[in-house]
A and B are shown apart, each in its own frame.
Chain A
Amino acid sequence: MMRLPPFARLAPRTLAEAVEMLADQGPGAAVVAGGTDLYPNMKRRQVEHHALVDLRAVEGMRGIREEPGGGISIGATTRLSHLAGSSAVPRALAHAASVIASPQIRNMGTVGGNLCLDTRCSWYNEPEDWRTAVGFCLKAAGDVCRVAPAKSHCWAVASSDLPPVAIALGASVRAVGPGGERTFPVADLYRDDGIDHLALLPGEIVAELLVPPVDGLRVTYRKIRRRGSIDFPELGVAASVRLAPEGICEAATIVLGSVASAPVRCREAEDLLAGRPLTPEVIEEAAAAAAHPAKPQDNTDLSHVYRKWVIPIHVSRALQSLS
């Protein structure tokens, strides 16, 4: 039996209490909700925590509600199956939730957990024995990146499905910490650093995802993975466009997941779409440009060559579905 290492479990009832407990426990403590990402990582001894603050019982942190201004608030401990089945949220967001992992994991895993999912790498997500034999990597006590040994950068991959589509929707995150609360765009939650990939302040907890009114924005999400039944994305493509009545693209957002340690915005492709109609030619041009900022490494299930090659194909299909 592969067992969890011992840890102290704290179960706050309010968010303020959770923030206080996390601060009291100091470095080495973490928050947990569904546990579907954290517990496997702890079982493989990739991370060690002497204390976990369990957010499950925190009041007011679970559920989807409409905001007075017309947007939607999604509590961080809302389960993924709830989000997937919700008709109150934009369809692309519900769809992205519905293709995360397996039914069991969606019943347990939470929105906050997916937003804060640890980055993944084929040299990191392995049992301790394997990593001891092969040698540890930068992300786990080693001194060299096994993917790109020449650089002292960790290339572990941002492998969650909600962030790209949340960014394409213009969503924000509300985080609460010892210094108070702040609300910022979802893109600002991430850093392109496989080790320190979350730009949260010390002791901060993601409390909710705030989705603005869709208001005519067309949004889609495509997920590419080996097994449609359970796998992490090998590529995620989120796209949103706002079309003028005559079909001209007024604004576009294209975000790639699983090609770096953070979601990647395709600004060049977005600029190519602005002010033009979504004709097949324009879409092809933008789709080709969308691959430019992506530099997938050879550290996931499918090869980096394949993952780079299929970006234009899936960006093109995403844009076609919006035209």
Chain B
Amino acid sequence: MSRRLLVLRVNGLAREAAVDEHHTLLEVLREDLHLTGTKHGCELGECGACTVLVDGEPWLACLTLAVDVEGCEITTVEGLAAPGRPDPLQSAFAELGAAQCGYCSPGMLVSARALLDANPSPTRDEVRHALAGNLCRCTGYEAILDAVLLAADRDGSARAAAHVAGGGDRGDR
């Protein structure tokens, strides 16, 4: 049980922290890096409140050792928005009231982001499956599903507009 100097890539930045090897990513994010957007819920892998993206995939920060994700790209809810511009998912969640107490929202948002990055036009059922590991005790889920689908629609429209503006298939993205 030793302490190590770790360099974690979090939200595109290299962040340094001296951590105990048995500390979880959740402890390191919240307590060492002060990124408290990622929530601690059950801390036993049942609720999904601590979900973060590791190389684009939803993982549970409460059951991941920080030392195990050195060299991986970690995305927390703080990393979703561009400066001054919320992620389309965040806008849709706010508009449709997809958060009540809001405690599950960071986990919901990153799980939904991973889904839309892999599958830009999901069905309602695919959204349901992608969010199966994120518990919400307030909303009854329907507003959350609506919000993810709305964000997907907008993402799709934005892509189509960019496609046209860029000259269709000849676009040089």
Contacts and interface: CB of A to CB of B under 8 A. Distances in A.
Interface of A: 1-9, 35-36, 39-40, 43-44, 54, 56, 81, 101-105, 107-108, 228-230
A103 B130 contact: yes
Interface in B5-56: 20-24, 26-27, 40, 43-46, 48, 51, 54
Contacts, number: 80
B1 A6 contact: yes
Given A7-B22, A43-B44, A44-B44, A102 B64 contact: no
Q: Which 5 A-B pairs have the closest CB atoms?
A: A102-B133, A229-B132, A6-B1, A2-B43, A40-B44
A39 B22 CA distance: 10
B21 A9 contact: yes
Contacts of B60: 36, 104-105, 108
Interface in B111-161: 111, 129-130, 132-133
A44 B48 CA distance: 18
Given A2-B44, A6-B1, A230-B132, A108 B20 contact: no
Contacts of B21: 8-9
Given A6-B1, A108-B60, A1 B27 contact: yes
Contact of A105 (B23, B24, B45): B45
B1 A8 contact: yes
Contacts of A103: 58, 111, 129-130, 132-133
Given A1-B43, A36-B45, A40-B44, A107 B67 contact: no
B58 A54 contact: no
B67 A9 contact: yes
23 contacts: A1-B40, A2-B43, A3-B27, A4-B22, A4-B23, A4-B24, A6-B1, A7-B1, A8-B21, A9-B1, A9-B22, A9-B65, A39-B24, A40-B45, A81-B57, A101-B133, A102-B133, A103-B58, A103-B111, A104-B133, A105-B60, A107-B54, A108-B64
Given A9-B65, A103-B132, A108-B64, 7 more contacts: A8-B21, A35-B65, A102-B133, A103-B130, A105-B60, A108-B60, A229-B132
Nearest to B44: A40
A6 B2 CA distance: 9
B48 A104 contact: yes
Contacts of B103: none
A212 B107 CA distance: 40
A102 B48 contact: yes
A8 B1 CA distance: 4
A6 B54 CA distance: 24
Chain A CB within 10 Å — which of B23, B51, B54, B58 has the most? B58
A104 B48 CA distance: 8
B59 interface: yes
B20 A6 contact: yes
Given A107-B57, A230-B133, A36 B63 contact: yes
Contacts of A4: 22-24
B68 interface: yes
Nearest to A127: B44
Nearest to A42: B22
Nearest to B48: A104
Nearest to A7: B22
Nearest to A6: B1
A2 B51 CA distance: 16
A232 to B, nearest CB: 11
Interface in B58-74: 58-60, 63-65, 67-68
Contacts of B132: 102-103, 228-230
Contacts of B40: 1
A258 to B, nearest CB: 18
Contact of B133 (A35, A43, A56, A229): A229
Contacts of A81: 57
B22 A5 contact: yes
Chain B CB within 10 Å — which of A3, A7, A102, A229 has the most? A102
Contacts of B1: 6-9
A255 B135 CA distance: 32
